[in-house]
Amino acid sequence: MFTGIVTDVGEVLTVQPRAEGLRRLKIACSYDRATIADGASIACNGVCMTVVSAGVEAKTWFCVDAAAETLAITTVGTWQSGSRVNLERALKIGDELGGHIVAGHADGTAEIFARENLTDMVRFAIRAPSTVSKFIASKGSVALDGVSLTVNEVQGDTFSVLIIPHTLAVTTLGSWQPGSKINLEVDLMARYAARLMEPR
């Protein structure tokens, strides 16, 4: 479980094909190696991934395996050496809930279709998959590439978010351009509310 508050930006060092359609990714980070245990969960661009090994070279690094389902429905399949990814460690009891409850289970990919550069800020217009757009509401929350954001406006399958200077400085969001594909996770509470309202 996560909150969508990015704590580091990592860099993909290597991507290695494995058996059964797996890919093993080695990611450099600024975390203390001593705090990363095998089996730990780290959200990488909003995708909850399990650490299979870790170490230190020039920087701390950890390895994760991405299965076929993850490669199919997220942007993980497009990552290569040099890709920068937002990182968040798993939530601990007593941690500050600065964003919203994020499971790290991406619902799919959304696409940036417009970018408006404002004074120190950026407004993005985003097209969501039609299968999940019904869960996105004005003033509600979404996680985009692992970042907890407040939705500004919603029109059909499209919505907008405004990115403040701090978020631009400490995440990868400033690199988004029209055509960029990003991982989208809708608000967990919205999903359960919709499920409860379905006719039995």
What CATH number does the domain containing 156 carry?
Answer: 2.40.30.20
- Is there a domain that residue 66 lies in? yes
The predicted model scores a pTM of 0.94
Q: Which residues are catalytic?
A: 2, 41, 48, 50, 67, 105, 150
Residue finishing a domain among 62, 89, 116: 89
Rounded mean pLDDT, 101-121: 95
Residue 162 pLDDT exceeds 80? yes
pLDDT of residue 182: 98
Nearest to 21 by CA among 63, 62, 72, 64: 72
Residue finishing a domain among 40, 56, 89: 89
Task: Domain of residue 60: give its range.
Answer: 8-89
Q: Contact, 80 vs 12, CB < 8 A? A: yes
> Residue 76: which pLDDT band, with cuts at 50, 70 and 90?
very high
pLDDT of residue 143: 97
pLDDT of residue 43: 98
Same domain, 44 and 83: yes
- Is there a domain that residue 1 lies in? no
Q: Contact, 68 vs 18, CB < 8 A? A: no
Same domain, 191 and 161: yes
- Of the listed ranges 31-45, 97-111, 156-170, the least confidently predicted one is 97-111
Q: Contact, 146 vs 183, CB < 8 A? A: yes
Burial of 48 (0-12, 13-18, 19+ CB in 10 A): buried
Rounded mean pLDDT, 99-125: 95
Same domain, 145 and 65: no
pLDDT of residue 200: 64
3-class secondary structure, 195: helix
pLDDT of residue 196: 74
Nearest to 79 by CA among 117, 34, 49, 39: 49
pLDDT of residue 96: 80
- Is there a domain that residue 130 lies in? yes
- Is there a domain that residue 68 lies in? yes
pLDDT of residue 61: 98
Nearest to 13 by CA among 85, 81, 87: 81
Percent of the chain with pLDDT over 90: 84
- Is there a domain that residue 3 lies in? no
Residue 195 pLDDT exceeds 80? no
Question: What is the number of structural domains in the chain?
Answer: 2
